[in-house]
Amino acid sequence: MKTKTLPIFFAFLCMGFGDVVGPLVGLAKDTFQLSYTMAQLVPFVGFIMFAVLSVPMGIYQDKKGKKLILILGLVVAFVGLLLPMINGMYGAPVHFNPGEYSSYYVVLLSILLLCAGATILQVVGNPVMRDVSPEGAYAKNLSLAQSIKAVGSSFGFLLPPLVGMTLGLDWTILFPAFSLLIVITLILAAPLKISEQRDASTKRASLRSCLALLKNGYVLMMVASIFAYVGAEVSMSSGVPILLKDTFGIQGLSLWISWAIFFLPIVLGRFGGSIILSWLSAKKFLIITTILAAFGILAMFSTNEILTYIGIVLVGLGFANIFPLVFSITIEHMPERSNELSGLMVMAISGGAIVPLIMGKVADAGGVLAGFAVPLACLFYILLASLAARRKPAAIA
Give the integer Cα–Cα distance in Å for 46 and 109: 9
CB-neighbour burial class of residue 168 (10 A; exposed 0-12, middle 13-18, buried 19+): exposed
- Whether residue 359 is contained in a domain is answered as yes
- Whether residue 226 is contained in a domain is answered as yes
Provide the mean pLDDT of the chain: 87
Give the integer Cα–Cα distance in Å for 319 and 201: 37
Residues 247 and 316 in one domain: yes
Query: pLDDT tens digits for 186-227?
Result: 999 999 988 765 555 556 667 887 788 899 999 999 999 999
Domain boundary residue, one of 149, 166, 194: 194
CATH label of the domain that carries residue 241: 1.20.1250.20
pLDDT at 199: 57
Domain boundary residue, one of 138, 163, 194: 194
Residues 311 and 251 in one domain: yes
- Whether residue 199 is contained in a domain is answered as no
* Total domains present in the chain: 2
The average pLDDT across 369-395 equals 88
Query: How does residue 180 score in pLDDT terms, banded at 50, 70 and 90?
Result: very high
Alpha-carbon distance values, 54 to 58, 120, 123, 144, 271 (Å)? 6, 7, 7, 23, 27
User: Residue 397 above 50 pLDDT?
Assistant: no
- 333 lies in which domain range? 204-397
Residues 159 and 248 in one domain: no
Among 101-110, 118-127, 154-163, which stretch is predicted with the lowest mean pLDDT? 118-127
- Number of residues that this document lists for the chain: 397
Pick from 253, 245, 213: nearest CA to 337: 213
Residues 302 and 281 in one domain: yes
The average pLDDT across 369-380 equals 97
CA angle 200, 196, 333 (to 5 degrees): 60
- Whether residue 150 is contained in a domain is answered as yes
The average pLDDT across 145-152 equals 81
pLDDT at 2: 62
Give the integer Cα–Cα distance in Å for 159 and 166: 11
Residues 237 and 262 in one domain: yes
Among 32-46, 84-98, 136-150, which stretch is predicted with the lowest mean pLDDT? 136-150
pLDDT at 361: 94
Give the integer Cα–Cα distance in Å for 129 and 106: 34
- Whether residue 325 is contained in a domain is answered as yes
- Whether residue 339 is contained in a domain is answered as yes
Query: pLDDT tens digits for 238-284?
Result: 899 999 988 888 876 778 898 999 989 988 887 788 778 778 888 99
Residues 158 and 218 in one domain: no
User: Residue 236 above 60 pLDDT?
Assistant: yes
Residues 6+ apart with CB under 8 A from 276: 285
- Whether residue 141 is contained in a domain is answered as yes
Largest CA distance in the chain: 60
Query: pLDDT tens digits for 332-361?
Result: 777 767 667 777 888 899 999 999 999 999
Give the integer Cα–Cα distance in Å for 142 and 126: 7
Give the integer Cα–Cα distance in Å for 33 and 30: 5
Residues 155 and 222 in one domain: no
Residues 12 and 41 in one domain: yes
Residues 132 and 228 in one domain: no
Residues 229 and 112 in one domain: no
pLDDT at 269: 85
Domain boundary residue, one of 150, 166, 194: 194
Residues 165 and 111 in one domain: yes
Distance of CA 215 to the CA centre of its chain: 26
- Whether residue 392 is contained in a domain is answered as yes
Give the integer Cα–Cα distance in Å for 156 and 171: 8
- Looking at the chain, which runs of residues are DSSP E strands? none
Structure letter (DSSP) for residue 5: H
pLDDT at 130: 72
